[in-house]
Amino acid sequence: MADVSEVLMSVLSTIRVPKPGDRVHKDECALSFSSPESEGGLYVCMNSFLGFGSQYVERHHARAGQRAYLHITRTRKAKKEDDNNSGSGHPPKKKPTRLAIGIEGGFDVEQEHYEEDYKVVIFPERQEVTSEDLGAMPDVVKERVSLSMAGIIAADSVSHALQVQQWDGEVRQESRFAADLKQLDNGVKIPPSGWRCEVCGLQENLWMNLTDGKVLCGRRYFDGSGGNNHALLYFQETGYPLAVKLGTITPDGADVYSYDEDDMVLDSKLPEHLSHFGIDMMTMEKTERTMTELEIAVNQRVGEWEVIQESGTTLRPLFGPGLTGMKNLGNSCYLNSVMQVLFTVPDFVSKYVSNMDKIMDEAPSDPTQDFKIQVAKLGYGLSSGDYSKPAPDPGDENAAAEHKDYQIGIAPRMFKALVGRGHPEFSTNRQQDAQEFLLHFINMVERNCRSGPNPSEAFRFLVEEKIVCQQSRKAKYTQRVDYIIQLPVPMDQAINTDELQEAERRRENGDSTATPVRAQIPFAVCMAALSEPELLTDFWSSAVQTKTTATKTTRFASFPDHLVIQIKKFTFGLDWVPKKLDVSIDVPDTLDLSALRALGQQPGEELLPEVAPPPLMTPDVEVKAPVLDDSTVSQLCDMGFPLEACRKAVYYTGNTGIDSAMNWLMGHIDDPDFSAPLVLPGCSGGTTPTMESISEEHLATIVSMGFSREQATKALRATSNTLERAVDWIFSHLDDLESMEVSEGGRSAAESEAAREPPPGPCVRDGPGKYELFAFISHMGTSTMCGHYVCHIKKDQQWVIFNDQKVCASEKPPKDLGYLYFYRRVAE
């Protein structure tokens, strides 16, 4: 052992003992889904505590220069017979009585039993050192190596911390404001739908203040999505502490946030506080089963659960490349379904799987925190077939029968932790909306593909909105980027209305034998509802210089390579209870949207003028600059828009308020001079105020994120030198920033900016509007916040169902019950 002892002595300075806060990756390879149970085991670097499978440890040694690794192998133990087994040999099944995991009354979390073996391996020689070998080595070597081994073995692995071991929702505390909350008698009554932020008009992520009923948007998330912080700003202005999130109110409670306590809280008087504003659903009688009992029992429902999962048929398990299952990490089926579909899209496979070796060669020192690495790791895991193998025999006859169709699959723990980091919803273990996650992931891809191919372009398309003023008959055209078509579900157009009414009558009469009837809605009716003109009742017309009515028509300005359609099944009843529409829609296998192609301005059609309101006149008839509403300008700036764009919006809409200014901004956001200074009639220059010098500290912070100094300067100038707003702004203007040229030596940033051409519009693909269906994601349950997701994907003309770790040939794909549908262009 003298040679090994000398080698260990030479690398002793690189061997660390884990300290509190160190991230120890001892259950999963940073670059693959290898684990201690995999062939070859897992090698944990004794310096960085990163884990590597046998196929990547040599690469890490060569790049990082580390030599000492703790090699962990894990072998499954045979299960012992349970003393409480019934006479039949099967353990008695305890029915869960609580919607929780790993606690009394909840769902059991079966702990696997393993035998583990540890040894130190020195690279590149691959010399092995066991604990027994250390006993014969010098004390200084024995002590350091033993402490490092013990520390790694005892440490909680990162994946273990992320894994669901015990879950009972969030434990929230009673707010100290709830008992004595003062509510204003201002006559405000809140309707069950149609809410908008009273400042910016946003229609999602809305919170109602429980003091005065003000409806405002929530916080802006780190990625620029979410709200515009108006509910928070309102608290800072008024001190009214509690708000309830609209859309989360059920007979069992709601999401209540205390701005003063800066946390989600309980409000024991919530029914009383809601009824003050006309929301009396909290006093409704519950059904004979609680919501929790309904969610637990929903697996036994005869209906969409059995149909969507094809439970009534014997499904043939499939294995091989592109047929890899994914473990459910506790309500992560929404993520599993979305990623399975995305990695059948050639753009994502080409970007992340085909370039796997190049991506791995460029891996940073900590690949667990690198977006490109973790997406490539997931894509390769799904595509390669390396993990598409039958799961090992669990060791008892009953479990073997239940799990015979399951795969080893992959557990996307690192990926889920990375893409959810900092997000208030996707960082939790609660069920989420698959459509919201799809858009969140696309947004992350956009941010991380500022150079090189961008696979999200496969879904990106332009929407043309045509607004016609009903008074002047003049039109305005605007374009915006989108990724998903949202199809409304007109329930009044069901083709089996008589059956539905009869079923409802029998249900009201207490007929327990009545068979549930599902509304049948033609797909053509949904498309017609999308394409029909929408009436705008509060439109400010620049032609008549006042508010009037208008119609808005939406069409495709481009057709993407891959089209995503969302069926808007989730809504609210008149009693405020969130509900899911139980509908069957005859979604076609092929789709021709050519008739919805935008035509642009028509011959003889007049456009609404970009006319400013009449200038203010003084007695000497001298033209003066108009007085702009500073509060409206400030509110628009707080949303992240450039100061000069906000000034122009207020000017060109004649100080008529935030709504019309927002409409102007959204209609001109792609203009080349969007952020240029406001030039008044009769003036030769802009009116931009002199700004203070840009903060070097703010510049350095943004440059450290991978942007150029010129790009950082532009963001800070556009947001009055405010770092937080500049970061939001920069991620919402990536297309503009990508077109900025780095200034050549000797030229100032201003000269470079003046010299370059106007930035191009968003990069979109276009082609025929003919498509074929290749995948769909289905949801089972009463709302997006509970239930289960699966996806069906067409592979080699065969429909395949991906239900977490089960991958099988589909016998009866329930195409009429889907939630998200994925089409690809058909080549003509």
Note whether residue 36 is domain-resident: yes
> Whole-angstrom Cα distance, residue 190 to residue 90?
54
- What are residue 320's phi and psi, to 5 degrees? 130, 180
For residue 367, say if its preceding peptide bond is cis, omega within 30 degrees of 0: no
CB 448 within 8 Å of CB 442: no
> Whole-angstrom Cα distance, residue 707 to residue 724?
15
Note whether residue 149 is domain-resident: yes
Q: What is the distance of C-alpha 118 from the center of its chain?
A: 39
| Of 300, 315, 346, the domain-final residue | 300
Q: What is the distance of C-alpha 627 from the center of its chain?
A: 42
Task: Let me know whether 223 and 74 are in one domain.
Answer: no
Task: Let me know whether 159 and 234 are in one domain.
Answer: no
Q: For residue 221, name the pLDDT band (cuts at 50, 70, 90).
A: low
| Of 275, 300, 325, the domain-final residue | 300
Task: Let me know whether 30 and 149 are in one domain.
Answer: yes
Note whether residue 387 is domain-resident: no
For the entire predicted model, the pTM comes to: 0.68
- What are residue 480's phi and psi, to 5 degrees? -140, 160
One of 45, 333, 469, 646 is an active-site residue; which one? Answer: 333
Q: Is the pLDDT of residue 88 over 70?
A: no
SS3 827: coil
CB 254 within 8 Å of CB 248: yes
Mean pLDDT of 328-347: 93
Task: Let me know whether 135 and 214 are in one domain.
Answer: no
**Unique residue bearing structure tokens 């192998």:** 73
Task: Let me know whether 161 and 217 are in one domain.
Answer: no
Task: Let me know whether 212 and 153 are in one domain.
Answer: no
> Whole-angstrom Cα distance, residue 727 to residue 223?
9
CB 806 within 8 Å of CB 407: yes
- Read off the pLDDT of residues 370-380 as tens digits, 9 standing for 90 and up: 999 999 999 99
Which of 671, 676, 625 has its CA nearest to residue 648?
676
Note whether residue 362 is domain-resident: no
Q: For residue 331, name the pLDDT band (cuts at 50, 70, 90).
A: confident
CB 584 within 8 Å of CB 792: no
Task: Let me know whether 118 and 232 are in one domain.
Answer: no
Q: Answer with the residue of higher pLDDT: 676 or 414.
A: 414
| Of 282, 300, 318, the domain-final residue | 300
> Whole-angstrom Cα distance, residue 298 to residue 60?
48
Please enumerate in sequence order all residues whose Cβ is within 8 A of that of 398, keeping only pairs 6 or more positions apart, or say none: 89, 90, 91
CB 277 within 8 Å of CB 211: no
Which of 657, 680, 643 has its CA nearest to residue 540?
657
Task: Let me know whether 22 and 123 are in one domain.
Answer: yes
Task: Let me know whether 23 and 156 are in one domain.
Answer: yes
Q: Answer with the residue of higher pLDDT: 305 or 644.
A: 644
CB 674 within 8 Å of CB 642: yes
Note whether residue 620 is domain-resident: no
Note whether residue 9 is domain-resident: yes
Cβ burial of 523 (10 Å; 0-12, 13-18, 19+) is middle
One of 440, 698, 788, 792 is an active-site residue; which one? Answer: 788
Number of Cβ within 10 Å of residue 206's Cβ equals 22
Task: Let me know whether 163 and 287 are in one domain.
Answer: no
- How much is the pLDDT for 746? 29
Query: Following CA atoms 767, 768, 770, 776 in sequence, which dihedral angle do they give, to the nearest 10 degrees?
Result: 10
> Whole-angstrom Cα distance, residue 723 to residue 698?
6
Q: For residue 173, name the pLDDT band (cuts at 50, 70, 90).
A: confident
Mean pLDDT of 212-236: 81
Q: Look up 90 and say whether it is catalytic.
A: no
Q: Look up 808 and say whether it is catalytic.
A: no
CB 274 within 8 Å of CB 244: yes
Number of domains in the chain: 2
Task: Let me know whether 21 and 163 are in one domain.
Answer: yes
Residue numbers in the known binding site for Zn(2+) are 197, 200, 217, 230
Cβ burial of 104 (10 Å; 0-12, 13-18, 19+) is exposed
Which of 329, 171, 153 has its CA nearest to residue 264?
171
Which secondary-structure segment (H or E) carries 168? none
Mean pLDDT of 620-647: 68
Note whether residue 485 is domain-resident: no
Q: Answer with the residue of higher pLDDT: 62 or 515.
A: 62
Residue numbers in the known binding site for substrate are 207, 219-222, 257, 259, 262
> Whole-angstrom Cα distance, residue 774 to residue 675?
42
CB 653 within 8 Å of CB 660: yes
Strand pairing class (42-45; 51-53): antiparallel
Strand pairing class (788-795; 798-803): antiparallel
Residue numbers in the known binding site are 197, 200, 207, 217, 219-222, 230, 257, 259, 262
The single-letter DSSP state of residue 524 is H
Q: How many helices (H) and strands (E) does the chain have?
A: 26, 27
The single-letter DSSP state of residue 416 is H
- How much is the pLDDT for 447? 83
Note whether residue 615 is domain-resident: no
Q: For residue 758, name the pLDDT band (cuts at 50, 70, 90).
A: very low
CA distances from 296 to 96, 99, 289, 301, 575 (A): 7, 7, 11, 10, 24
Which of 115, 130, 94, 110 has its CA nearest to residue 8?
130
CATH code of residue 17: 3.30.40.10
Mean pLDDT of 246-275: 86
Task: Let me know whether 26 and 134 are in one domain.
Answer: yes
Domain that holds residue 119: 4-78+109-168
